[in-house]
Amino acid sequence: MKLLARFSGDGWLRAEGFGSATAAYEFTVSRDIGHAHGSTLVTNGRLLSEFATMADAAARRWATLVLSNGKSVKIDIRSLSSDGMEFTVREPIPDLPR
């Protein structure tokens, strides 16, 4: 994995059944160059938000994260603990240099 970028900010965690809550997030964008068919862009992160909203998102295994620039990304929840939530971004992050 080659680290391309590291970002952090304050935004909103939107869970399907529970509404929205403010969230502090950080994530890394890496290029996985170990594939036979080329490289893959991978974005993983952590966030901290209101526990009830994180728990609802974790139960559904996905949520929407609204970034500080107002752009939204879908995230797949990997784990939840008292330290926050770990996730993988499903799609390319808007306005991220390629």
Nearest one of 55, 61, 54 to 88, comparing CA atoms: 61
3-class DSSP state of 40: strand
Residue 24's H or E segment, with its range, is strand 19-35
Predicted confidence at residue 51, as pLDDT, reads: 94
Give, in order, the Cα–Cα distances in Å from 41 to each of 13, 22, 60. Answer: 23, 27, 24
Predicted confidence at residue 10, as pLDDT, reads: 97
Predicted confidence at residue 53, as pLDDT, reads: 94
Predicted confidence at residue 19, as pLDDT, reads: 82
Predicted confidence at residue 97, as pLDDT, reads: 45
Q: Residue 48: beta bridge partners?
A: 24
State which residues of the chain have pLDDT below 70: 35-38, 94-98
- Residues 6 or more apart whose CB falls under 8 angstroms from that of 79 comprise 58, 85, 86
pTM score: 0.85
